[in-house]
Amino acid sequence: MDVFLAPSPASFSRLGVVVGKHGRRIVDRNLLKRRLREIGRRRVLPELGTRGATVDVLIRARGKAYEAKFEELAHDVMRAVEELWSQSS
């Protein structure tokens, strides 16, 4: 997975999710999108809110993300956000 952070022009943090087809069915693609949105809604955006950050977060899923379980996805996303946050601070 690739995660990108950018300063938000809005007064609040926003989340974007990009999921490529990677030869998968639309059902699989929609499931992955729903999972990533839920991770962003429940974990990423609240964490940024507690830090007082207003950034845009873009998550781009790679092909291997289709095989990952929810907790693995959440761990990978949060780790990537932490790394990017520490680099930009």
Where in the chain are the domains? 2-84
Read off the tokens for 65.
């993300």
Architecture of the structural domain at 2-84 = 2-Layer Sandwich (3.30)
Read off the pTM: 0.91
Q: What single string gives the DSSP state of each residue in 3-34?
A: EEEEE-SSSS-EEEEEE--TT--HHHHHHHHH
The pLDDT of residue 50 is 92
> pLDDT truncated to tens, each residue of the chain (89 aa)?
899 999 999 999 999 999 999 999 999 999 999 999 999 999 999 999 998 889 999 999 999 999 999 999 999 999 999 998 888 76
Q: In angstroms, rounded to a whole number, what is the distance separating the alpha carbons of residues 37 and 59?
A: 9
**pLDDT attached to residue 89:** 61
Cα separation, 24 vs 11, whole angstroms: 36
Q: Are 19 and 61 in contact (CB under 8 A)?
A: yes
